[in-house]
């Protein structure tokens, strides 16, 4: 456990600002990838840190601090989707975005991450969350399992299905 996690686990309230500073961008990005709306993601990220502060006494250091925070964020986002039936971007909009070709002779790798991010809108929320943590945040299977509160096997299955679905969307909208 690193120094920040140790201080947080010991109940040091003064470390909370440092936790927010270190993880706020990553939490916002995760929320955005799941919710697909900037304003909702910003609000949710703030709510996540309120929850982190409220639950700080429950962090026992059994997992990495960011994994614990990601689990809170993922659960809150998935609950928000179920509770409010948040609409994802329609597949037609994703496909239209993916069909837009750059005006260059070579491949446009700068747009690849944006295309993948846009295509993620068509995934079910749990697959979207698992894929975001693995692909964008480079979390291990074990870390994703801890963050999503599920087994490594379930993470593998969700990730596999997400990749298969995204591959299908991306290959239909562009080159393989």
For residue 23, the domain's CATH number is 1.10.1740.10
Same-domain pairing of 46 and 75: yes
Task: Name residues whose C-beta falls within 8 Å of residue 163's C-beta, 6 or more positions apart in sequence.
Answer: 131
Same-domain pairing of 2 and 79: yes
Same-domain pairing of 101 and 49: no
The boundaries of the domain holding residue 142 are: 88-176
pLDDT of res. 158: 93
pLDDT confidence bin for 120, thresholds 50/70/90: confident
Same-domain pairing of 82 and 94: no
Mean pLDDT for the stretch of residues 142-161 = 91
Mean pLDDT for the stretch of residues 26-36 = 90
For the chain, the domain total comes to 2
pLDDT of res. 64: 87
pLDDT confidence bin for 52, thresholds 50/70/90: very high
Mean pLDDT for the stretch of residues 156-170 = 89
Decide which of 2 and 144 is more confident. 144
Whether the pLDDT of residue 157 is over 70: the answer is yes
Same-domain pairing of 30 and 101: no
Same-domain pairing of 140 and 165: yes
Least Cα distance to 121 among 94, 160, 82 occurs for 94
Same-domain pairing of 173 and 96: yes
Whether the pLDDT of residue 43 is over 90: the answer is yes
Same-domain pairing of 94 and 76: no
Q: How far from 176 is each of 12, 16, 105, 166, 171, CA to CA, in Å?
A: 51, 45, 16, 12, 5
Same-domain pairing of 41 and 74: yes
Whether the pLDDT of residue 109 is over 70: the answer is no
Task: Give the pLDDT confidence of 124-141 residue by residue, as tens digits.
Answer: 989 999 998 888 888 899
Least Cα distance to 85 among 47, 44, 30, 125 occurs for 125
- Phi and psi at residue 60, to the nearest 5°: -100, -5
Same-domain pairing of 6 and 70: yes
């Amino acid at each position: 456990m690193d120094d920040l996690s140790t201080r947080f686990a010991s109940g040091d309230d003064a470390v909370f600002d440092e936790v927010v500073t270190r993880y706020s961008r990553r939490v916002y990005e995760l929320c955005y990838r799941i919710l697909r709306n900037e304003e909702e993601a910003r609000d949710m990220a703030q709510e996540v840190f309120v929850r982190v502060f409220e639950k700080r006494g429950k962090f026992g250091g059994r997992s990495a601090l960011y994994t614990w925070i990601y689990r809170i964020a993922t659960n809150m986002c998935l609950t928000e989707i179920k509770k409010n039936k948040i609409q994802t971007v329609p597949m037609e909009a994703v496909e239209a975005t993916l069909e837009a070709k750059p005006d260059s002779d070579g491949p446009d790798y700068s747009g690849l991450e944006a295309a993948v991010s846009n295509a993620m809108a068509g995934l079910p929320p749990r697959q979207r969350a698992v894929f975001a943590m693995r692909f964008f945040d480079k979390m291990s299977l074990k870390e994703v399992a801890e963050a999503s509160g599920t087994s490594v096997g379930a993470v593998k299955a969700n990730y596999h299905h997400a990749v298969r679905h995204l591959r299908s969307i991306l290959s239909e909208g562009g080159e393989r």
